[in-house]
Structure 1
Amino acid sequence: MTAADADGWVRTARDGAVLTVTLDRPDRLNAQTPATWTALAAVGASLDDDVRVVVVRGTGRAFSAGLDRSLFSTDPSTPGGLGELGQMSAELAQERIRTYQAGFRWLRSPGIVSVAAVQGHAIGAGAQLALACDLRVLTQDASLRLPEATLGLVPDLTGTSTLTELVGYSRAMEICLTGRAVAAAEALTMGLANAVVPADGLDEAVRGLVTALTAPPVGAGRETAALVRSAVRNDPESQDAAERAAQARRLAELAGR
């Protein structure tokens, strides 16, 4: 096993309040393995209070083509493969998948806003990683696809909840069951993408978005992000109460209390 295998081909770089997380396996279109998800979860666990924005990206011509092909093996001796999971008890298989999901769910942790910079393909686990982020900037050649159902599986890396939040029930149902690709232009129309830019403009667009996200005072930015997240699930009365409580905290800080 090489060092890259062990760390799941995940690289990080810090610039002040911005942490960039990069999938660095361009020869395999940034295909993911369980080691990738373990490494991503470790990044989430290591966040400190000074990180405000996390940018997730992939090197090369694709964001991520999804699951590494070797893991589709039905041979139970293939570590991390579908065959190995299929031979486990339901309880053990679910616990294993829960640990994989931890590599995705932290991208909506309190205190940060996450941005996926997506070029080329984002398929399966790749699409779910992009969906796990709060915001997405896509290049014009980008597309997202969740083909799991067509392969006899289901999206199990947090993708069903994040997709449904973004596009609604009926669109999410259609996208998940047909497994079709959603091209960048359509993604922008349906709210999957916040922006679509030329391939050579991705870095600049992400920098501009990051600058805007970090412009508000830290406390106001974090409280607002928390309110937007809770609004997805709260009833109006609960959300109104959350707004009142957050504003009271902001006013007290501004007043120096």
Structure 2
Amino acid sequence: MDDSRQVTVEIDGPVARVTMCRPDALNAHTPQLWSELRDIGHSLPGSVRCVVVSGAGKSFSAGLDLSVLSGPLPVELASASDADAEARLWSFQEAFDWLRRPDIVSIAAVRGHAIGAGLQLALACDLRVMSTDARIRVGEPGLGLVPDLGGTKRLVAELGYSRALELCLTGRTVTAEEAVVLGLATLTVRPGELDDAVEDLTLAILAVPREAAIETKALLLSAGVHDDAAQLAAERAAQLRLIRGRVGAGE
């Protein structure tokens, strides 16, 4: 393994295991880490159906590496043209955005802390399995920033506006138990059972025919923006594609 890498990926048939590998820094995020995540998304083989995202060591991610704020990046962004600055920020967001693609189901395996950018990475995943020792927190507003890696949309979608605002502006810590109640965690398990629980969930997803899984995820993603008529039309179109696929395959 290249020791300079901050993220590794292991492809095992239809499963890609993406691991942040900065355990000594509690997998704190840097522009390099985001670049490597983005590259993984771009190069993912078409055979992959499930992506499992985890962090090496005792924590999923403690959030943004604070050295980034004292380094050259803020000055570079502030002095760049609007177009160049937005392009740079989009390159960071792109590292997270691919996890919502309809052709894959992404699962975050969260132990320890998921703070700030680490929480946003977990929220970018479709499903979140948390160990009971997990603690999550929105950290960006407390640093004078906003959750800009897709976190605002995900939080409102999962929690509603009022609760999302409360968590963002208080920066309070949410336990794994509360995360389940709020809908931020799909399920919680004891720390020693996390890997097995993620494996069981992955196998259950892989048992569903791929095209049905893709169409279903796409419909659920569109449900929040379509009105009833548009969503019903999308359901009809998806169902027809699946039925024609079955007939064409001779089933």
Question: What TM bracket, shorter-length normalisation?
Answer: over 0.9
User: For 1:33-53, what per-residue CA distance to the aligned partner results, in whole angstroms no more than 9, with x for missing partners?
Assistant: 101111101111112221111
Q: Does 1:227 align with 2:219?
A: yes
Q: Does 1:61 align with 2:44?
A: no
Q: Does 1:129 align with 2:105?
A: no
Shift of 1:31: 0.8
| Secondary structure, aligned partner of 1:45 | helix
Alignment of 1:21-100 (within 5 A): 21-73=18-70, 78-79=71-72, 81-100=73-92
Alignment of 1:211-226 (within 5 A): 211-226=203-218
Distance in structure 1 (CA, Å) of the matches to 2:247 and 2:217: 22
| Secondary structure, aligned partner of 1:54 | strand
Q: Is the 8 A contact 1:147 1:178 kept in 2?
A: no
Aligned to 2:9: 12
2:93 to 87, 101, 106: 101
Shift of 1:103: 0.2
The residue identity in structure 1 corresponding to 2:20 is L
Distance in structure 2 (CA, Å) of the matches to 1:198 and 1:84: 44
The residue identity in structure 2 corresponding to 1:198 is R
Structure 2 length-normalised TM: 0.95
Q: Is the 8 A contact 1:118 1:130 kept in 2?
A: yes
Shift of 1:69: 2.1
Aligned to 1:149: 141
Structure 1 length-normalised TM: 0.93
1:161 to 153, 157, 166: 153
Q: Structure 1: which 5+ runs fail to align?
A: none
Q: Which stretch of the first structure deviates more once superposed, 25-34 or 92-101?
A: 92-101
Q: For the aligned residues, what is the CA RMSD?
A: 1.3
Aligned to 2:196: 204
| Secondary structure, aligned partner of 1:255 | helix
The residue identity in structure 1 corresponding to 2:187 is A
Tell me the percent identity: 52
Shift of 1:256: 2.1
Total equivalences in the alignment: 248
Aligned to 1:242: 234
The residue identity in structure 1 corresponding to 2:32 is A
| Secondary structure, aligned partner of 2:28 | coil
Q: Is the 8 A contact 1:119 1:139 kept in 2?
A: yes
The residue identity in structure 2 corresponding to 1:239 is Q
The residue identity in structure 2 corresponding to 1:127 is L
Q: Is the 8 A contact 1:56 1:115 kept in 2?
A: yes
| Secondary structure, aligned partner of 2:248 | coil
Distance in structure 2 (CA, Å) of the matches to 1:10 and 1:184: 25
Shift of 1:4: 4.0
Q: Structure 2: which 5+ runs fail to align?
A: none
Aligned to 1:112: 104
Aligned to 2:170: 178
User: For 1:86-121, what per-residue CA distance to the aligned partner results, in whole angstroms no more than 9, with x for missing partners?
Assistant: 343443322211110000000001200100000011
Q: Deviation above 6 Å: which 4+ runs of structure 1? A: none
Shift of 1:168: 1.3
